Structure 1
C-alpha cells in the first residue's frame, strides 16, 4: 500500500464508472488493481454501500487470498454499523497482509466503535509507522484519544501533525476538531476552520465542524449559508442531513424534509 496521504485518492470518486470498468477488465486478467481497498473505503464513506458490496464481490471473484476484498467487505460492514463483522474482516485482511494500512485502519476503527479503545490505539500506531504521511492514520489515533477523554494527548498529536504535514485544510481541520473539545480553545477552533475553508470551501470535514460550531452558537442562518455553499458543486449525505437540521431550527420544515430525503438516497 502506498504511503501517500489518503487525500490523493479522493479524485477516484469522480471517475467511478471508469474505475469500475477497470475492475471488470482486470477480473478477466485475474489480478487486483492497486488501491481497491482505499477506493472501497471512499465509496463507503460516501454512503454508496451497494457499490461497495458489488466491488467486494468482484474482488473476491478474483482472489480471496489478498487483503483488499476483505477490507472492502469490512468497510461495507463498518458503515452498516456491523462492527463485530468489520472487526473480523479487518483481522482476516491483516492475516493475509500484515502491512495493509487500510486493514489496520478498518480494524482500529471497529475496535474503537466497540469501546476497545486501547486495542484500537495499537492498530492506529502501527498504521502510522507504516504510512507516516497518511493523515487518516493520525485522525484515527486522535479520535481514540478523544473517545477516552485524553484531550492533552490528542492536542499534542494534532499539533505535531500540523507541524509535520504543513498547514493545509486537512491538518487545520484536524487541529480544530481537537480544539472544539475544550471550551478554552473554541475561538482558536473557529479561526482554524475559517483558514481551512478559505483554502478549500468544499472540504466536507471542515464544513461539518464549522456547522457544529455554528449550531452551538445557534447561528442557524449562517450555518444554512455555509452548507448551501458547500453543496453548490457536490452532494454529500452528511451535509444534506445537517442542512435539514438547520432548516428545522428556523422552521423551514418542508425544505428540511427535502434535504433529509436527499440524504437517504
Structure 2
C-alpha cells in the first residue's frame, strides 16, 4: 500500500493524472477491504485520488472525494489526531508546498482550499468563498489570501477584497497583481508604495543605489493608480519610464496602449498593440482592446487575421469572443456580433469590455434600454470614460436628459481635468435648444484644457452648423488644420462644404483625408456621395447593386467562420 501511494504521488507530480486516478482506484478498493487501516490513511488516499481528478478537470468528482477525506480525518480517534490530522500550525509548511504526502500529515485547511478551488472551477463562487473563509486567518497561506481576495472581488465585497490583497502584500511585497487590484479598488499610491521594501532586503542594501533597485515597482504601482483614477497622462509617464527600463515588456506595452486609447491616441495605441503582438504573438490579453483600435481604422482584413489567430490560440477566453464581435460589427452584421458578445459574457461574467460592446451594439440596434443595462454593468465593474460615454448616449437615446446630465457631471467630477469629460457634459446640453450656449462653453473649456482633443473641436463645429454659423465652423476647422493636419478635420470640412453645395472644396478635402488615411471609412463613403452629387444623382437613392457590394472582397478574405 505504501509503495502504491508513493508511486501515485510520483504520477501526480509528473502530471500523469489518468494513470494516477486508475492507480488511486485500486488504492481505495484495497483500503476498503482492509479494516485495520486508520481513517487518516483512508483520507490521504481519497485526497490523492481527488488531486488526480482535479488534474483531469473532473471537479465535482474531486469535490466529493475531498469532502469524504475531511469526514474521514475528523473521524480519526483523538489519540490519533495529534499525529494523524495535525493542527494547521504544525502542517503550515506542508500547506505552503501544497502537498499531502504522508498519512501522518494531512492538513485539513489545505483540503478546504482545494475544495474551494473545485467550487470555483464550476463557477460556484459563493460556495468557494464560504469554504475559503472557513480557513482560520492565522494560517492562511499567500495563495489562500490571493484566492480569497479574487473571490471577494467577484462577489462584490470590495472592502474585504482590499484587506485580503493588503495581506498578500504583507506576506510577499512582489505579488504584482495585488498592487494592480488595489489600485483599481481605489487605494492611494502612497499606501501601495509603503508595502515596497525600501532597502530592507540584503540584496537591496548591497546595491549602490538601493532606492533605484525598487524604483520600478513604485512606478508600476503609481502608474496603475494614475490610470484607475482617470489621470491617464500621469499613467503614461510612469509606463514610459518602465518601457525605457524594461524594453519590450508585454505588460508595459499593453498598459501603455490601453492608457493611450483612453485619451484618444488611437495611432499610438495601435503601434503599441502591434508591438505587443510582435513580442508575444500567442498572447490573448487585451486582444479585444486591440480589435477596437483596428475597428477605428476600418481594417476588416486585419481584424479577420487577428480573430482567426486568437481563436486558434484559445477559444475559451472572453477577449477572443469580443474581438469576434468587433469583426462582425465592422462587417455591419450587428446581430451576429451580439451573439459573440453573449459568448464572451458566458465565458466571463466579469469581463467589462464585453458589456461595453453589448451596450454599443444595443444602441446601434435601437435597443436603448438594453444599452443602459449593459453600460451600467460595465460601469459597476470599472468606471472609465467609455462607460460614462456609453451611459450618456444610451440615456439621450431613450431620451432621459436628466439622467444623461447626471452621468456626465459624475464623469466630470471623477475626471476634473479631462477634456473628454467636459465634452461629454457639452454633448448633453446641446441636445436642448436652451442648453446650446452652455454646451458651447463646455466645448471651449475642453479645447482649452486639451488643444489636441479633436472630438471637442468637431463637436463645436457641428454646433456652429446646427445654429447656421457655417462660416464659423469652417474657420474653426481650418485654424486647427494649420497646426494639426488630421484626416478627421478634413472629413468634417468636406461634409460642411458638401452641405453648402461647394462641391470642389468638398472633393479636395475628401481627397486630402484619404491621402492621410486610405482606410478612413467616413471619407470613402462621403466621397461616393459627393461623386453622385457632382453627376446630378440623388446620393440617397437606393442602388440596386448595393446589397451585393463587397461580396467578392469577402470571398477573398477567408473568414474565420
Specify if TM > 0.5. Answer: yes
User: CA offsets per residue over residues 151-201 of structure 1, 9 Å max, x none?
Assistant: 111111111221222142011000000001111111000000001111222
Deviation (angstroms), 1:8:
3.6
Residue from 312, 325, 339 that aligns with 1:61 = 312
Residue from 213, 219, 235 that aligns with 2:469 = 219
Quick check: 1:161 aligned with 2:415?
A: no
5 Å-filtered alignment, 1:1-265, equals 4=228, 8-9=260-261, 10-11=264-265, 13-14=267-268, 16-17=270-271, 19-27=273-281, 30-32=282-284, 34-132=285-383, 134-231=384-481, 232-233=483-484, 235-237=486-488, 239-261=489-511, 262=514, 263-264=523-524
Q: Distance in 1 between matches of 2:339 and 2:412?
A: 33
Deviation (angstroms), 1:116:
1.9
Q: Distance in 1 between matches of 2:485 and 2:356?
A: 26
Q: Distance in 1 between matches of 2:406 and 2:318?
A: 33
Q: Distance in 2 between matches of 1:57 and 1:46?
A: 18
Secondary structure of 1:149's aligned partner: coil
Flag structure 1 segments of 5+ consecutive residues without an equivalent: none
Secondary structure of 2:468's aligned partner: coil
Q: Distance in 2 between matches of 1:196 and 1:187?
A: 14
Secondary structure of 2:280's aligned partner: helix
Worse-superposed segment, 190-199 or 108-117: 108-117
Q: TM-score, normalised by structure 1?
A: 0.87
- C-alpha distance 62-101 of structure 1, shift in aligned 2 (>3 A): same
Q: Contact 2:417/2:449 (CA < 8 Å) preserved in 1?
A: no
Deviation (angstroms), 1:259:
2.8
Q: Distance in 2 between matches of 1:204 and 1:60?
A: 35
Deviation (angstroms), 1:251:
4.5
Q: Distance in 2 between matches of 1:149 and 1:209?
A: 20
Deviation (angstroms), 1:11:
4.1
Q: Contact 1:46/1:236 (CA < 8 Å) preserved in 2?
A: no
Q: Distance in 2 between matches of 1:71 and 1:38?
A: 9
- C-alpha distance 102-234 of structure 1, shift in aligned 2 (>3 A): farther
| Match of residue 196 from structure 2 | none
Secondary structure of 1:181's aligned partner: coil
Flag structure 2 segments of 5+ consecutive residues without an equivalent: 1-179, 185-227, 231-257, 515-522, 526-561
Worse-superposed segment, 248-257 or 110-119: 248-257
Q: Distance in 1 between matches of 2:393 and 2:372?
A: 9
User: CA offsets per residue over residues 16-66 of structure 1, 9 Å max, x none?
Assistant: 355324324423xx332x322122212213433333333222222322111
Deviation (angstroms), 1:135:
0.9
Q: Distance in 2 between matches of 1:151 and 1:125?
A: 16
Worse-superposed segment, 74-83 or 109-118: 74-83
Worse-superposed segment, 250-259 or 102-111: 250-259
User: CA offsets per residue over residues 231-265 of structure 1, 9 Å max, x none?
Assistant: 5535345x433211222345432231233342229
Worse-superposed segment, 171-180 or 42-51: 42-51
Q: Contact 2:318/2:354 (CA < 8 Å) preserved in 1?
A: yes
Q: Distance in 1 between matches of 2:426 and 2:442?
A: 6
Q: Distance in 1 between matches of 2:454 and 2:312?
A: 34
Q: Contact 1:173/1:206 (CA < 8 Å) preserved in 2?
A: yes
Q: Distance in 2 between matches of 1:39 and 1:228?
A: 32
Q: Distance in 1 between matches of 2:417 and 2:409?
A: 10
- C-alpha distance 202-50 of structure 1, shift in aligned 2 (>3 A): farther
Worse-superposed segment, 58-67 or 246-255: 246-255
- C-alpha distance 208-104 of structure 1, shift in aligned 2 (>3 A): same
Worse-superposed segment, 1-10 or 206-215: 1-10
